[in-house]
Structure 1
Amino acid sequence: MRGFLAATFLAATFFHSLVAFSLGAATCNSSALDTRTYLYNITEEGTTVFDVARITKRGVCDIGRHNLMADVTILPNVGESFIIPPQTCYPDNESCLIKDEGRTRTCIYGGPRLYYTVNGDTYEKIAIRLNITTESLINGGPSGSPSASANDTLPVGQFLKVPQCSPSQCVIQPYSFKWGVYKDLAERYGTTVGQIMMLSPTYNYSSVAFSSGGTFPPISLPINCTALSKNITILS
């Protein structure tokens, strides 16, 4: 009897979920969506890509992929512009975000060694992009920085030495960046967002790649980054 009731409950739950999904789809009038593609200019310091998404009623990941962004959490500079894609019934605000899920590694596989800081960077944000512990990044320099705060904003254009596992390697290849954000590339090619950023330190996004006459940005891509031994040392 209990098994029958449980099965009945699960069936009812699935049915209600299906009905809710169908009703949600029905409430979106695709003919009322804003199908324009236009440029949005950053005019106020401190504006985030999340602010742009909220103001334009788009998904932050939709904007990120339409502008081939390195990471949507990078703070734009005043004077920068983003292409705003057409509205969709289901804006994406999740799939491009780097999930911080129990970082335990204390060094990166393969390199490179120097990370170039961008607007809004903190040790915490950089460590998440590299998938290493924040403490290992703070203490990874020649003399270490044990008094540094994980969430203090770092100066733009500062080189940080990143701890590297030895022996380890990445295959470095030129790459024409045609779709997505760096998280998509990292997951596909076995690397991290931070390491891709380290190989193309001056690239953050492109607002012209999909426009008339635009070209896809050439970047360098670390592929299949892996340790070469079970016994590693950390180069700091």
Structure 2
Amino acid sequence: MRGIWFTVAAFLSLGTSSFAVAAACNSSALNTTTYLYDITKEGTTVFDIARATKRGVCDIGRQNLMADVNIPPNVGELFLIPPETCTPDNESCLIKDEGRTRTCIYGGPRLYYTVKGDTYEKVAIRLNITTDSLMAGATHGGASGPANETLSVGQFLKIPECSPSQCIIQPYSFKWGVYKDLAEKYGTTVGQIMMLSPTYNYSSLAFSSGGTFPPINLPINCTALSNNMTVLS
């Protein structure tokens, strides 16, 4: 399946399985302190941070309220490193490509704001639609270039919407997890949550002294309103 490797390959590269680590783990020797990790090198990923700190990539993602752990951080950004555990989580936060067949999203919104590391395929996986359907209407006259070509940051992509369909949009105080957790709980997609709060990526200070939980907008219960739908492109 196309696209699954950008999440799974990074996970597999983390090394020994959680089960094997837990079997040999001495809990009394764990580093249970939290601290800030500074990104000093361009190209560093959250998976690199996980390896360097001996934490789970999903544990880091949830501690920092990340939109998606696959979004590469910028030099100068800080991440809050959670306590070390015997069972680091390197999988549950990854967005799996499990056979996308939909050609449009339910309920909108219509414009996706590209972030660092985005490709048409990554965006389509976050929206749970086919890559071809995204590329057909993403830009005027359709997208050009391969599906895995890295897109410029800050580009607006037009997203095909199923009509009639709807989402309930409401403000939300983001207190734990990653966007995948919210998408599964509230019946939406990671991409649609990102579209409603386009400049949000993560928060390393929410759990610090004096920190506040970030307010985001959340699409809830995104559903089709008819069996006969058209695609608004």
TM-score normalised according to structure 2 size: 0.89
3-state SS, counterpart of residue 134 of structure 2:
helix
Q: CA deviation at 1:147?
A: 3.2
Q: CA deviation at 1:149?
A: 1.1
Q: CA deviation at 1:141?
A: 3.6
Q: Which amino acid aligns with 1:222?
A: P
The 8 Å contact of residues 42 and 75 in structure 2, kept in 1 or not, is answered as: yes
User: Could you tell me which residue of structure 1 aligns to residue 126 of structure 2?
Assistant: 129
The 8 Å contact of residues 165 and 226 in structure 2, kept in 1 or not, is answered as: yes
Q: CA deviation at 1:34?
A: 1.0
1:27-176 equivalent positions in 2, closer than 5 A:
27-141=24-138, 143-176=140-173
| Structure 1 gap ranges (5+) | 1-20
The 8 Å contact of residues 138 and 144 in structure 1, kept in 2 or not, is answered as: no
CA distance in 1, matches of 2:168, 2:139: 26
> Which region of structure 1 is more displaced relative to structure 2, 26-35 or 105-114?
26-35
Per-residue CA distance 1:183-209 (angstroms, 9 max, x = gap): 000000000000000000000000000
> Which region of structure 1 is more displaced relative to structure 2, 134-143 or 69-78?
134-143
User: Could you tell me which residue of structure 1 aligns to residue 11 of structure 2?
Assistant: none
Q: Which amino acid aligns with 2:176?
A: W
The 8 Å contact of residues 38 and 83 in structure 1, kept in 2 or not, is answered as: yes
Higher Cα Rg: structure 1 or 2? 1
> Which region of structure 1 is more displaced relative to structure 2, 104-113 or 136-145?
136-145
User: Could you tell me which residue of structure 2 aligns to residue 178 of structure 1?
Assistant: 175
The 8 Å contact of residues 66 and 178 in structure 2, kept in 1 or not, is answered as: yes
Q: After the TM superposition, which segments of 4 or more aligned residues of structure 1 sit over 6 Å from their partners? A: 21-24
User: Could you tell me which residue of structure 2 aligns to residue 9 of structure 1?
Assistant: none
TM-score normalised according to structure 1 size: 0.88
CA distance in 2, matches of 1:25, 1:222: 37
Q: How many residues align?
A: 216
3-state SS, counterpart of residue 213 of structure 1:
coil
CA distance in 1, matches of 2:57, 2:230: 39
Q: Which amino acid aligns with 1:38?
A: Y
Q: CA deviation at 1:144?
A: 3.4
Change in Cα spacing, 1:23 to 1:76, as seen in structure 2 (3 Å) is closer
Q: Which amino acid aligns with 1:133?
A: T
User: Could you tell me which residue of structure 2 aligns to residue 194 of structure 1?
Assistant: 191
Q: CA deviation at 1:145?
A: 2.6
3-state SS, counterpart of residue 139 of structure 1:
helix
Q: CA deviation at 1:79?
A: 0.8
| Structure 2 gap ranges (5+) | 1-17
